[in-house]
Amino acid sequence: MTTKMMGEPVARVEDDRLVTGRGRYADDLAPEALEMAVLRSPHAHARIVSIDVDAVLDVAGVHAVYTYEDLEGALAEPLPLLIPHPNLTHGRTQYALAKDEVNYVGEAIAIVIADNRYLAEDAVGLIEVQYEFLPPVVGIDAARAAENLVHDDVPGNVAATMEQSFGDPEADIGGAPHRLTFDLEIERSACMPMEGRGTVARWDPDLKRMSVWSSTQTSTGVRAAVATKLGLDLSQVDVITPDVGGGFGVKIVHPWPEEVLVPMAAKVLGRPVKFTEDRREHFISSAHERGQQQHIDVGFDDDGRILGLSVQFWHDNGAYTPYGLIVPIITSTQLIGPYKLPSYRVVFQSLYTNTVIVTPYRGAGRPQGVFAMERTMDAIAAYLGKDRTEVREVNFIQPDEFPYAHGELSFQDGRPLIYDSGNYPEMMRKAKALVDWDEFEKVRDEARAEGRKVGIGIACYVEGTGVGPYEGGHVQIETSGKVKVSTGLTTQGQGHETAFAQIVADELGVRFEDIQVVTGDTRRSPYSVGTFASRAAVMSGSAVALAARAAKAKALRLAADALEVDVDDLEIVDGIVRVKGAPASQIALGTLAVLSNPLRYAFDEASRAATQFAVGDPTKPPVAEDDEPGLEGKDYYSPMRSTFASGIHIVIVETDPETAEVSILKYAVVHDCGTLINPRIVEGQVHGGVAQGVGGALYERMAYDETGQLQNASFMDFLMPYVTEVPESIEIDHLETPSPLNPLGLKGAGEAGVIPGAAAFASAIEDAENFTITSMPISPSELYALRLSKATDTATERTNT
């Protein structure tokens, strides 16, 4: 009997090549390619008066230099606004190369193509640009004040204002027994994959065909963009995603200027061209996220039950809005978390600043939303003198209340915000058990008696995952019995080759090692959307399951004919179709693949058995009218709406009484992503997310000065956690509440680990220090400053009384 693969911690098939240096990342490809370097704006806001490239033209080894003036057709138009929205009244996108004006340090102005990167960078240094400086707008305060404008034609720096609500929160808050209002803030961080962006392109003049390899989260998106921008038919462009060194959201944005400029240059020059982003470029010309200011107004009863919630927030979208309003929409809707709100209003403004664009970074607006809601829960608990878990529990949606609709709210996919399933009380029970929550008060008191400050923090979240519109799967059984699987979305380390093979092994009844999965190759899967929003397992996992079922149905039908039995009497085990209870009566899937394709020409032993003279009923056409040759299955999965995963994080911290350094004593996670495909991979995703949550809570911020220079644009200065900054261990408990929305009961797992990080740490530091934390990340010096100001406040209060 075939071993069941779903739910097993199978070792990854990707690893053999990756641990031996045989991975193929973008920069590893096409060693013969010319290389591109980019001249980037050194100023945050300026008009371009002139660009002089004369000095570059005669440099040995330089093949071409391009500025905006050299771009033609659609390439001279602004880059696409990928996700338009009716509320995005003032959406703006940049040009592939700046036209007249630059709006952030790092914006691409010119490119040089040379024999190698060294020469290309030398040449970039010879280009002379004259600028007329404009006043930069940096930070949300400056954007809101709007004394200066990022874009002349965008009043108030406001790209969009959006409001959603249900019930009558003003009346409910006004009439509530208790009311609290407060302000919160979260700063910018960024995805920071270890591999930056990278693109290679090769134009074949004989086939008139463009091949592009890009380190992207959407090969089909890049394909459409390249075809559009270069005036090619979609069928002339292939985009292949090689091994990708991490994404975390930044690589879903497309096309990056370089992603269309590299193919353009390859076509013009008739040579392969490559662009490999360096680390400084990644800091100043890719994307950031998180920066928001929030204002909370909440009314609640004596039990801590929220009666009405009104939230206003200001979202820094950077200089342009290629990814629309996705991040703030997610903040505004996912803020609600696992709670029942009788009434809710949220209003946000998405604001321009002269900084790097803001697009989804793992969590994509959720960490900010969870920060707002969980700070609110803690504030209510503190106000009422109640346990923080009790206040959360009294507000939880109960297991028997699913599907649960939050009024008329729309989610990021434009669909109603309806939770499909979950069990939040059970999650809380598990979470409290992991850390012995009820005993912690004693631990804290004992520590305080010793002069130590320890605190425990909690944060709950719900994550909409598996957002549509669709993904496809293709399963082909070869005459060798090997199974080739393709799905169009891409992989950046999630182990899709392994997880999807596990699904197909179970669905089809073939051996795991006989299955080979390909992702992100438009030659194999021309219809696909991409990898984002924790959607790969749900979307492509479901699609390959459906495709495997289609292939299986065909195999059984062929086998039933061949073995002259009823389809229902057959089973497939280890790639052999056999009669249940009479396993000697059997036929291999590979043989069925031969039979499925009636041939005229024999080219090997297997095909000899499939020629027209060898198979088939002579009274019927070789391929039936409603059938097609080959043993394969194809299907698409397109859900009505997202499926909602959930979790609780609890962290115990100790803050140094002298240095205010925060150390992590314990980190516990309860996580519900529905049915698990591979628990080892899911736990790895949680581990990585938690580390990014630690970074976002305690270390990572983008330090812009008032002129818009990013002052910490290197790994020396931007503090990404090393092993020394992450918890020594992460306790994980799973809950598996299957989703009713897809065939396998899956929910997404990719982003979960990072989402409640900032909220949980704020809660824990607040508990250790006994004063309110309203802004994250928090550094030791900031915590120290807070201590001093609280001490001053207390002293002042004493003087006043």
Partner 1 sequence: MTMSPTTAEPVETIRLRVNGVTHEAQVPPRRLLSDALRHDLGLTGTHVGCEHGVCGACTILVDGQPMRSCLMFAVSAQDYELTTVEGLTRPDGSLGPVQQAFKDCHGLQCGFCTPGFITTITAGIAENPDPDRAEARDMISGNLCRCTGYQNIVASVLRAAEIQREDAQNGDGEEQGR
* Cα separation, 273 vs 263, whole angstroms: 7
- Write down how long the chain is: 801
* Cα separation, 284 vs 282, whole angstroms: 6
* Cα separation, 456 vs 769, whole angstroms: 11
Considering only 19, 207, 449, 584, the residue that binds partner 1 (CB under 8 A) is 19
494 binds partner 1 (CB under 8 A): yes
Tokens of 474: 């293709």
Tokens of 444: 């804290």
* Cα separation, 282 vs 287, whole angstroms: 8
119 binds partner 1 (CB under 8 A): yes
Size of the site for partner 1 (CB under 8 A): 63
11 binds partner 1 (CB under 8 A): yes
Nearest-approach distance from CB 687 to partner 1, in angstroms: 4
Nearer to partner 1, 18 or 384 (CB): 18
Considering only 5, 6, 27, 96, the residue that binds partner 1 (CB under 8 A) is 27
697 binds partner 1 (CB under 8 A): no
Interaction residues for partner 1, span 237-256 (CB under 8 A): 243-246, 248
507 binds partner 1 (CB under 8 A): no
Considering only 144, 178, 209, 279, the residue that binds partner 1 (CB under 8 A) is 279
* Cα separation, 186 vs 291, whole angstroms: 5
Nearest-approach distance from CB 561 to partner 1, in angstroms: 43
18 binds partner 1 (CB under 8 A): yes
Strands 292-300 and 306-318: antiparallel
Tokens of 125: 């240094």
Stretch that binds partner 1, among 7-15, 172-180, 233-241, 396-404 (CB under 8 A): 7-15
Stretch that binds partner 1, among 41-49, 110-118, 131-139, 572-580 (CB under 8 A): 110-118
Q: Which residue is associated with the tokens 């609110």? A: 376
Q: What is the CA radius of gyration of the chain?
A: 29
From first CA to last CA, the distance across the chain in angstroms is 80
Strands 306-318 and 344-352: parallel
Stretch that binds partner 1, among 25-33, 369-377, 394-402, 462-470 (CB under 8 A): 25-33
492 binds partner 1 (CB under 8 A): yes
Contact string 336-375 vs partner 1 (x = CB under 8 A):
----------------------------------------
532 binds partner 1 (CB under 8 A): no
- Contact (Cβ atoms closer than 8 angstroms) between residue 714 and residue 650: no
Amino acid at 599: L
12 binds partner 1 (CB under 8 A): yes
751 binds partner 1 (CB under 8 A): no
- Contact (Cβ atoms closer than 8 angstroms) between residue 533 and residue 252: no
Strands 453-465 and 643-655: antiparallel
- Contact (Cβ atoms closer than 8 angstroms) between residue 370 and residue 336: no
CB-based contacts of 378, cutoff 8 Å, min separation 6: 388, 762, 763, 766
Nearest-approach distance from CB 319 to partner 1, in angstroms: 25
Nearest-approach distance from CB 495 to partner 1, in angstroms: 7
8 binds partner 1 (CB under 8 A): no
Nearer to partner 1, 652 or 726 (CB): 726
Considering only 15, 54, 72, 183, the residue that binds partner 1 (CB under 8 A) is 15
60 binds partner 1 (CB under 8 A): yes
CB-based contacts of 240, cutoff 8 Å, min separation 6: 211, 212, 213, 219, 520, 521, 522, 523
Nearer to partner 1, 634 or 680 (CB): 680
495 binds partner 1 (CB under 8 A): yes
∠ CA 597-603-604, rounded to 5°: 90
Contact string 598-637 vs partner 1 (x = CB under 8 A):
----------------------------------------
DSSP character at residue 398:
P
Tokens of 718: 């931007």
Nearest-approach distance from CB 499 to partner 1, in angstroms: 12
Stretch that binds partner 1, among 14-22, 41-49, 424-432, 703-711 (CB under 8 A): 14-22
Interaction residues for partner 1, span 712-741 (CB under 8 A): 714-716, 720, 722-724, 726, 728-730
Interaction residues for partner 1, span 174-203 (CB under 8 A): 191-195
Stretch that binds partner 1, among 17-25, 300-308, 345-353, 649-657 (CB under 8 A): 17-25
692 binds partner 1 (CB under 8 A): yes
* Cα separation, 607 vs 611, whole angstroms: 7
CB-based contacts of 627, cutoff 8 Å, min separation 6: none
Nearest-approach distance from CB 142 to partner 1, in angstroms: 30
Considering only 178, 680, 734, 790, the residue that binds partner 1 (CB under 8 A) is 680
- Contact (Cβ atoms closer than 8 angstroms) between residue 251 and residue 492: yes
| Spatial strand order in the sheet of 46-52 | 101-102, 46-52, 128-133
Can you say how many angstroms the Cα of residue 305 is from the centroid of all Cα atoms in its chain?
33
| Spatial strand order in the sheet of 483-487 | 515-519, 483-487, 471-477, 632-637
Interface with partner 1 by CB under 8 A: which residues?
11-12, 14-16, 18-25, 27-28, 31, 60-61, 115-119, 191-195, 243-246, 248, 278-279, 492-495, 680-681, 683-692, 714-716, 720, 722-724, 726, 728-730, 753
